[in-house]
Structure 1
Amino acid sequence: MPDLTLRKQALLTEEIFHEFGPPASVPLRRVAMVSVIENPFAGRYEPDIAPFMDTLKPLGEAMARRMLDALGGDPAQVQGYGKGAIVGAAGELEHGALWHVPGGWAMREVLGDAMAIVPSTKKVGGPGTRLDVPITHVNASYVRSHFDAMEVGLTDAPRAAELALILVMTTGPRIHARVGGLAAADIEGRDGLR
């Protein structure tokens, strides 16, 4: 199994106070973390890449803990999450899929009781590529107020033989969310959907 070689990390935070309406009583806080690592499969086809997911798990957990700390340290404050990966041009899209399990596992591990699947996206791109990372509620994917995305990217990553691995956490719904659907207060908490 290849080793993990980390080049850089970035922790990005946002506070949203309003969206052209009255200021929210509590601002929405969003945090994203990007880890740029060497892609051990760049430039070649490797049939058995799945074992590398185990190598990525400690990185995912460390990222999730740093993000939680940036949001104040209380898992109960985190209401939304998502993940994504940008694969450098010498890699293939499937290399980004390696982040599905370790990225989602890490946030659920750190948050304790999150039930919803962690939404994800990935793409191949070069330095400066941006990714709209999808976000849903941590316990029920059908809570429309928490359908969101955070655009994430770094000016110098990923290089051709790198992966940019991304996690996102949020503290609430979109500011002024008002399109109906299942409310967070009405989550049944049985299946990660409702």
Structure 2
Amino acid sequence: MGQVKVRKFLVSVEEIFHEGGPPAAVPPKRGLILAVVENPYAGQYHTDILPFMEDLKPLGLEMARRLLAALGGDPKSIEGYGKGSITGEAGELEHAALWHAPGGYSMREVLGGAKAIVPSAKKVGGPGTRLDIPVTHINASYVRSHFDSVEAGITDAPRANELVLGLVMTTGPRVHARAGGLAAAEIRGEDGLR
């Protein structure tokens, strides 16, 4: 297919000191990167859309590296991740689904082979559409303390012929996590679940 046409990137990092409880000794951070790209399949049905998934792989790596840099650059500091995509109104949900492999594998590679599946969300919508991107621990999906979500969106995207592609990384659990379950220190790392 060719090169992915990027209109813009948005990168944001939030640092959470507390949610009414005691301030965290090390405040966790939640980082988000979004890319607004042209959807080459917008406007009509295409049977074979897999070539664009291949085209998105270099963009996924670039976005994962940019996001990691915004969070300090140390892959060992990242404990949670997620991904999501929004397709504009001339696209279809399956176009947004093309982000699953490029978005997920790029973060796993940049973080040194994280084991857990990268949770995902996708939808169809116009400019200003918001998406809650789910987050789980990078090595064990059952670690409840890291269940989270980051709201994502851009006021002028996606236009009808665009996609908004997103990655999220976090540096720790929710600031006052105390919902029990498997603790990060108890991860066995055998299957990406526990």
User: Quick check: TM above 0.5?
Assistant: yes
Instruction: Work out the CA distance in 2 between the residues paired with 1:5 and 1:113.
Output: 28
User: Following superposition of structure 1 onto structure 2, how do residues 106-145 of structure 1 map, counting pairs within 5 Å?
Assistant: 106-145=106-145
One-letter identity of the residue aligned with 1:135: V
Instruction: Work out the CA distance in 2 between the residues paired with 1:150 and 1:37.
Output: 20
**2:193 counterpart residue number:** 193
Over the aligned positions, Cα root-mean-square deviation in angstroms equals 0.7
Tell me the CA shift for residue 71 of structure 1. 1.1
Tell me the CA shift for residue 3 of structure 1. 3.4
**1:146 counterpart residue number:** 146
The alignment of Structure 1 onto Structure 2 pairs a total of residues equal to 194
**2:97 counterpart residue number:** 97
User: Following superposition of structure 1 onto structure 2, how do residues 76-87 of structure 1 map, counting pairs within 5 Å?
Assistant: 76-87=76-87
Instruction: Work out the CA distance in 2 between the residues paired with 1:2 and 1:156.
Output: 25
Whether the 8 Å CA contact 1:2–1:40 is kept in 2: the answer is: no
Whether the 8 Å CA contact 1:84–1:121 is kept in 2: the answer is: yes
**1:62 counterpart residue number:** 62
Q: Percent identity?
A: 69
**1:170 counterpart residue number:** 170
Instruction: Work out the CA distance in 1 between the residues paired with 2:14 and 2:125.
Output: 24
1:51 is aligned to 2:48: no
Tell me the CA shift for residue 2 of structure 1. 4.6
TM-score (norm 2): 0.99
Poorly superposed stretches of 4+, deviation over 3 Å? none
Tell me the CA shift for residue 72 of structure 1. 1.0
Instruction: Work out the CA distance in 2 between the residues paired with 1:68 and 1:166.
Output: 13
Task: Show structure 1 runs of 5+ residues with no match.
Answer: none
Instruction: Give the match's secondary structure for 2:13.
Output: strand
